[in-house]
Amino acid sequence: MAWYALSKVSFDELLVYIKKADYKYIVLGVCLGLLSHLSRAYRWLFMLEPMGYKVKLGNSIMAVFATYLINYTIPRAGEVARATILTNYENVPFEKGFGTIVSERIADLIMIFAVILLALCLEFDLIYNFLITRFNLTKIVFLALIFVVLAILLFIYIARSHSKIALKVKAFCNGLIEGVLSIFKMEKKWPFILHTLFIWVMYVLMFYVTSFAVEEIQGISLGAILFGFISASLSIAATNGGIGSYPLTIYAAFSLFGIAKEPSLAFGWIIWSSQTLMIIILGGLSLIYLPIYNRNKASLKV
């Protein structure tokens, strides 16, 4: 995928845009992305407190950065690693920690739908025509209904079964549900909501601010920014960190607004590379420093 994305624009052309880029906007975009990650780590504490776990902010921050880094290897493997880090260093049961992460993703899903709704309000005709021409909506709805029916049947089977496997699944699900429901039990609901809004405002601002680094796409409409942001976000969710697909989805989104291929792809590579470099550095340092930061806890176990 990365090779295909690079093949869509020559390396020499890409290098020209990178050399011409206004780096103050790239650095500012990285800072905004960093703020969103720190806010996510702090927000996580609000969800763990109702279950009786006082997690160190340092561990939460390093777990979040480790999550993003690991997601570059296997999609969504980082979430498993994130819950495992809390289990190892904070004695939070895996299923409960993972449940809070699932609850986080639900909040994030609500926010991405809010961004999509805003984009639809701004560019309804353009986006609607795009979806109709590219996707078979009837087929998608039919497949979704089949999935829901199968999920319900599986749930009924596990709920009625008394096999060892079913009992283990139910125990895991109970812990998972407790983690998910922690969002409703927390005392700091409003700080959680405000942090959620802050995280996503920083995401969009990061995308918008970095666009000023490429002269050819400066001043594009808010609708184009939001549509490009949504496409790029979905590419990260669907692949391991958006490798290769991130610039392509931005190009596909921007092309609907008449923005040229070369600057669109160059912008995609610039923003993805800058954010990825931050994750590689901070995620790598987090994985190295976690056992050092928690060495006193490890020595107590011995």
Q: What is the pLDDT of residues 217-255, one digit of tens each?
A: 888 888 889 989 998 988 887 778 778 788 889 988 898
Alpha-carbon span 95 to 241, nearest angstrom: 24
For the chain, helix, strand, coil in percent to 5 are 85, 0, 15
CA 117 to the chain's CA centroid: 18
Cβ proximity of 62 and 44 under 8 Å: no
Type of residue numbered 130: F
6-65 confidence digits (pLDDT tens)? 555 666 777 888 888 999 999 999 999 999 999 999 999 988 888 888 999 999 999 999
203-225 confidence digits (pLDDT tens)? 999 999 999 999 888 888 888 89
When pLDDT is cut at 50, 70 and 90, the band that residue 302 belongs to is very low
pTM for the full predicted model? 0.80
pLDDT of 12 = 74
Nearest 5°: CA angle at 240, between 236 and 241? 45
Alpha-carbon span 294 to 62, nearest angstrom: 12
Cβ proximity of 29 and 212 under 8 Å: no
The 8-class DSSP code of residue 214 comes to S
Q: Which tokens go with 195?
A: 């942090």
Q: Which tokens go with 246?
A: 């991130």
% the chain with pLDDT above 70? 87
Q: Is 240 left (phi over 0), alpha (psi -120 to 50) or beta?
A: beta
Q: Where are the domains of the chain?
A: 2-295
pLDDT of 87 = 92
Q: Which tokens go with 273?
A: 């590379």
Q: Is the pLDDT of residue 301 over 50?
A: no
When pLDDT is cut at 50, 70 and 90, the band that residue 182 belongs to is low
pLDDT of 110 = 85
Tokens 């999509």 sit at which residue? 116
